[in-house]
Amino acid sequence: MPEITKEQFDSLKGQVDALEHKLKEAEGKSVLPTEEKRYEDIPYYRRVKIDTIEGQPSFTQQSGARMYLNTAPQVFTDGVVAKVTLNAITYDVLTEADITTDNRFVAKQSGYYQINGAVYFATTVAAKRYAAKICKNGAVYSQVTNHSSNTGLIGVMVSDIIWLDTDDYLELWARHDAGENQSVTNGATLTYLSIRKIA
């Protein structure tokens, strides 16, 4: 899927400008020069790649990332909400995932984002609550709580569509009320946060 070239962009823009000019003339409106928008001035993540065969747009430079708990299980204290240390990356399109300092996603673009998070508790206590939370700018935005039916393993998944302004950040937090410390399992398929800009 080749990226649209400058020549294609300029040609399409010229056609649109000509049509707008004719429309305004037909409506008897004043036709004034419009501010030019050069192809080079458009941020690369706003350039649309076009499948020339199918004619379908592909937003391959749209914001998106996936972070996960990698190095070791993380211990969570009973009754305490704490941030999951997301310290590895599956992908990071625009370099927005911080896995070394704050373990969070920081948006470079304003818009609506699809967020999916999972927290996998390795050892559970029967009849206790386990929660996963999406936090925006340090405050809980969405959360899901599961109730363990027996001892063993339990995964909690949370998802939402969230508006983010530039420099807003997202984190994955967790909590349990097991009455004792509990471990969250590391691994790319188990404890993670995925983000994708959709509009």
Q: What are 116's two structure tokens?
A: 């999916």
CB atoms within 10 A of CB 9: 18
pLDDT at 184: 96
**37-92 confidence digits (pLDDT tens):** 555 566 655 555 555 556 566 666 789 999 999 989 999 999 999 999 999 999 99
Letter string b/e over residues 46-65, b meaning 16 or more CB atoms within 10 A of that residue's CB: eeeebeeeeeeeebebbbbb
pLDDT of 123 above 90: no
Q: 51 CB contacts (<8 Å, ≥6 apart)?
A: 1, 57, 58
Domains and CATH numbers, the chain: 6-58 (no CATH), 64-197 (2.60.120.40)
pTM of the model: 0.72
What's the average model confidence in pLDDT over 123-144? 95
Q: Going by DSSP bridges, is the β-strand pair 64-68/192-197 parallel, antiparallel, or unpaired?
A: antiparallel
Distance from first CA to last CA of the chain, Å, rounded? 21
Cα three-residue angle 140-142-146, rounded to 5 degrees = 110
Of residues 47, 42, 64, the one with CA closest to residue 112: 64
Question: How many whole angstroms separate alpha carbon 29 and alpha carbon 23?
Answer: 9
Given a cut of 80, whether residue 2 has pLDDT beyond it is: no
Tens-place pLDDT, residues 22-52: 776 776 665 455 555 555 566 655 555 555 5
CB 191 within 8 A of CB 182: no
Q: Mean pLDDT for the chain?
A: 85
CB atoms < 10 A from the CB of 193, how many? 26
**21 secondary structure, DSSP code:** H
Given a cut of 50, is residue 1 above it in pLDDT?
no
User: pLDDT value at position 155?
Assistant: 93
CB burial of residue 40 (10 Å; 0-12, 13-18, 19+): exposed
Identify whether the C-beta of residue 65 lies closer than 8 Å to the C-beta of residue 92: yes
- Quote the CA–CA distance of 71 and 184 in Å, as a whole number: 12
